[in-house]
Chain A
Amino acid sequence: MYIIIGGGGEIGYYLTKSLLKQGHEVLLLEKGALRFKGLVEELGQAVVRGDACEARTMEEVGASRADVVIAVTGEDEDNLVICQMAKQHFNVGRTIARLNNPKHELIFQKLGIDITVSPTRSILSLIEAELPGTTFVSLMTLKRAGLEIIEMRVPVDSPIVGKTLGTINLPRTGNLALIIRGTDYIFPTADTKILADDEVYALVSREGEEALRTALGTSL
């Protein structure tokens, strides 16, 4: 595959090295003169000095034959434009953007960026998963459908402890898929009774997450 990477920071550097090792054709674009000098010593011809937002630069490095363009600069607006220009101007099939502000996920998705990666969000969810007493963890995002798979532990003081699912007013924007109780698994029905410390796995939409947290008493 021919992969163009915009932004020669630490992420761009290690990404280029790893992808080269895997045998891909990789080109890293870095616009800063000083940083470029450092990179070129190690990566040689795989680095070109230039701005991945500039159509002329992208043309020189053959963007129209790139299979993937990855934007990993420290500015979200630059990453957005790199990906949109690659798609619209050079018909690149797949674009991947780094998100510095996790709140920008929605707009990137709406604007057609294929994949977004947010280090801030990843680290946050790891911390959430590790913290004792944490009851709500996002396991996976299904981008196209706008759904999330979440795991939560029902707190002892949750208002739904001891109630059956049929009697609880759960949001329509979510679906409880599985309950793990000790070592047993339960596929929930309307008659399933919720107990404290049940581990619940659910599919929820963005709007549904907060509603479900509220229903289970795990609201932040």
Chain B
Amino acid sequence: MSGEGKTVSNTKNKYPWSNYTLKLGRGEPVSTTQYVLYAVQIAAVIILSYLSVVLLGPLSYSGISLFYFVYPFFLVFTMWWGIWGILGAYIGCVVGAGLMVGLGPVASGAYAISDLIPPLIAFIVYRGLLANRGIDSLWRDLTDKEVAGFKTNRVAAWVLFIAINGVIINAVSAELGVGIENYLGLIPPGAFWGWWAGWFFGDLLAMIIITPVLVKGLTNLVERQGLINRGWIT
């Protein structure tokens, strides 16, 4: 029958990722499958947040982990699923890295805002600004020389990745998170910068090591299933 063996092209635009923008979505309502997927990913982030804090035992303190490995997850989920990934980041932190490790609802609800900001900014910067300048908004150019036939610039991709996500956004997040904990009296005044450094480097390390693994291992799978959001919502 006609159509068999043809290659399906993602886009007629300049870059293979040009379909992924800052619009609201595909113009379709959220399907039941997507609805379920977003709920399940929030559950996954909750578990991973919890494991990020407790698995490293002596290397974590008061909700701060020196290897906060859930961080790259909700970054990647946001790049795939927009607002749902951001929601997952927030709820994941409140429940998994807050309530389940004993921080109480007030403290958890407040300092989880610092986990909401990084994916939000990353989504806007990459899809709104960098995607039209040859940088893949799905970060495949961190690991692949080519994306759907388009040659990538891995060096630029890594430099921007570390500068934007690893340094700038991470620093903002650490400042916010540790600041909130300080305001609530959870941190000794003399220890602010020690905690800040723990937060900053804990996230940075996890981001550099795990993001490429996730992107390489899963983005293609998610895209093949048609599950990458075109915009914020769908």
Q: Do A and B bind each other?
A: no
Interface residues of B (CB under 8 A from A): none
Interface residues of A (CB under 8 A from B): none
